[in-house]
Amino acid sequence: MKILDPKDNIDSLVSMVRNAKEFVVFVSPYSYLKGWESLKEAINEAYDRGIKFSYYVRKGEGSKGLEGLSVCLFEVEKLHAKMFFNERVAVISSFHLMNNQDINWAFEIDDSDEYEGLTDFFKTYIEPEAIMYDLHQFKF
């Protein structure tokens, strides 16, 4: 696992999305992507390429800050963990996907054991608690 230069945090997520071959999972309890056009474009392009894109937010947040994104949106009660992964690499961070000036670190994970440890956490503690958000309220 390797720490990222903070100025590269979002670019690393853009690369992860663009390099995805099968799926992308974003876990960000709170979100505000306004101004991150390259990330938003990468997400929507992934959807157009047939990548399964799942986005997990905290219960009650719904699509706040995610307007215009083509993703499968889920809410999870008491979610505060942050992680981002495709079928091969992962990023963990102290940040939500919020375009602000806060001080945050992010680590990139490419070791297979570490990747498995993180995705196991997701499968054990997050995925089972997820409820699909009301699609009628979410603009695809």
Partner 1 sequence: MNIINPKKNIDSVISLIKNAKKRVVIVSPFNDLLGWNELKAAINSANEHLEVSYYVREGEGRNGIDGINATVYEVPLLHAKMFFSESEGIISSGNLTNHPDINWFCYLNDEEYKDIVGFFERYIKPGAKQL
- Binding to partner 1 by residue 79, rule CB under 8 A? yes
Q: Which amino acid is at 107?
A: F
SS3 104: coil
Quick one: which of 11, 120, 123, 131 contacts partner 1 (CB under 8 A)? 120
Residue tagged 């001080």 (tokens): 103
Cα distances (Å, whole numbers) of residue 4 to 11, 76, 92, 101, 115: 10, 27, 10, 16, 16
Interface region with partner 1, contact rule CB under 8 A, candidates 9-17, 40-48, 60-68, 102-110: 102-110
- Binding to partner 1 by residue 2, rule CB under 8 A? yes
d(CA 73, CA 107): 24
CB neighbourhood size of 112 (10 A)? 9
Tokens for 47, please give them.
């959807």
Q: How far is the CB of 118 from partner 1 (least distance, A)?
A: 6
- Binding to partner 1 by residue 83, rule CB under 8 A? yes
Quick one: which of 14, 32, 54, 81 contacts partner 1 (CB under 8 A)? 81
Quick one: which of 10, 20, 33, 118 contacts partner 1 (CB under 8 A)? 118
- Chain residues in the site for partner 1 (CB under 8 A): 1-3, 6, 76, 78-83, 92-95, 100-105, 107, 109, 114, 117-118, 120-121, 125-126, 129
